Amino acid sequence: MVDLLCRWWYAMPEWPPADAAWYDPELAKRSLRRVSIQEWEWVPDVDDKGLHKCYELGQFKGVFRKGDGDPVDMRPQDTCPSYNNMMRKDLPELYSLLVKAYEGQIKDLGNSKYDETTLSSAMTIALNRIREKARQAEQMSFMIGGAAKKQRTA
């Protein structure tokens, strides 16, 4: 699990969403409107539609600060690459993601300005072990699924 959480961005969709428009409906649900830092001092706290001003924190995509200083986290928690969300996945899916993550990181090592030969070799060895575990997890899942199917039809 730790290996996947350390390199999830090689295997999973971008998180939090980069598209600013994704957050607009979430802001509207909370009666908030986005304003830029440059206009912050010059716009009213509440507009004529009753929407309170907020701005997005540059260092935390999807986290906004309201006029009273309170932060509002709009990042989708159900897709967050967290331990809790990973634990909801079955073993074959976790191994599949881990294989993809290792493959992506090994490929990315080719972009390094440093000699990554030793690290790449170690990661390739680890990847081969993970591929074998992924194959075993898939077989086990298939066998368990087959046994459950036999019980239902019996």
List, for residues 66-120, the tens digit of each pLDDT value.
999 999 999 999 999 999 999 999 999 999 999 999 999 999 999 999 999 999 9
| 106 contact partners, CB below 8 Å, separation of at least 6 | 120, 123, 124, 127
> In terms of domains, do 93 and 53 share one?
no
> In terms of domains, do 53 and 70 share one?
yes
> In terms of domains, do 107 and 125 share one?
yes
Number of domains in the chain: 2
> In terms of domains, do 101 and 146 share one?
yes
CB 52 within 8 A of CB 31: yes
CB 11 within 8 A of CB 100: yes
> In terms of domains, do 85 and 144 share one?
yes
Rounded CA separation 150/148 (Å): 5
> In terms of domains, do 93 and 142 share one?
yes
Is the pLDDT score of 152 beyond 60? no
* Residue 111 backbone dihedrals phi, psi, to 5 degrees: -90, -5
> In terms of domains, do 95 and 135 share one?
yes
> In terms of domains, do 102 and 142 share one?
yes
